[in-house]
Amino acid sequence: MIGRLVKNLNKPPSEFVKANWDAALNLRTKRMGIGIIVRDEGGEVLVIVCVQKKYVSQVALAESYTLWKAIEICNDLDIRNVILEGDALTIVNVVNRDDEDLSWFGHIIEDIKFYPDRRKDWKVVYTPRESNIAAYMLAK
């Protein structure tokens, strides 16, 4: 199932790697799922991450933590020219703002901002849910 969904994703531009990320949150059980797919310019999958985390009860925290994990993976693998693509518009907008985030989860946002600021070949962009369905299914 995931293989078919990955084939339908938009390939990254030439010389770029795309990391699609999404979180799923079950408020009743306070569990979140993390879904991350990293693909090269040919659309070939380099990394797939599907992880659960307990004791999460806020959507913004789940989405920002998932973006942080995608950044951590790409950094650990020393990947250059990364497009970090997610469907959490609020998180993408906050990360791309210049001013300091003073929200209750701002420490995560500020850590996230550190990488695209230092690595000019990285960018965090928004994509609609239907273009991020493979990461969403992994998170679910």
> Cα(39)–Cα(62) distance, rounded to whole angstroms?
22
pLDDT tens-place string over residues 31-82? 999 999 999 999 899 999 999 999 988 999 999 999 999 999 999 999 989 9
**Is a pLDDT exceeding 60 seen at residue 5?**
no
User: What pLDDT is stored for residue 53 in this prediction?
Assistant: 92
**Of 15, 10, 26, the residue nearest 85 (C-alpha):** 10
pLDDT (0 to 100) of residue 113: 85
Burial (Cβ within 10 Å: 0-12, 13-18, ≥19) of residue 58: middle
Domain ranges of the chain: 2-139
Percent of the chain, pLDDT > 70?
Answer: 91
Residue given tokens 């791309």 in the structure block: 96
Cα–Cα dist 70/62, whole Å: 12
CATH of range 2-139; options 3.30.420.10, 3.40.1190.20, 3.90.180.10, 3.20.20.140: 3.30.420.10
Per-residue model confidence (pLDDT) at position 3 = 56
